[in-house]
Amino acid sequence: MAGEIVAEMVANVWKVVASPGDEVAAGDMIVILESMKMEIPVLAEQSGTLAELRVSEGDVVQEGDVLAVLA
């Protein structure tokens, strides 16, 4: 079961927490975004393997951008 993890707002990628190949559970943190001096954790909505990470620390993401893909 594959699932995309998307940005819910325009933000900077402050910290990447997980790496491709990591096993994650629903609720595990994948990345931390920063917007207006607030840190916004981005969590996995389902369990799986992090198949792809499409962002790096310092990137600017737009609402709807795919940050990572779970397999």
pLDDT for 46-69, tens place per residue? 999 999 999 999 999 999 999 999
For residue 1, pLDDT over 50 is answered with: no
Q: What is the pLDDT of residue 22?
A: 97
pLDDT in tens, 3-56: 999 999 999 999 999 999 999 999 999 999 999 999 999 999 999 999 999 999
Top CATH class of 3-70 equals mainly beta
- Assign 3-class secondary structure to 3-70: EEEECCCCEEEEEECCCCCCEECCCCEEEEEEECCEEEEEECCCCEEEEEECCCCCCEECCCCEEEEE
Domain range list for the chain: 3-70
Characterize the bridge pairing of strands 11-16 and 60-61. Answer: antiparallel
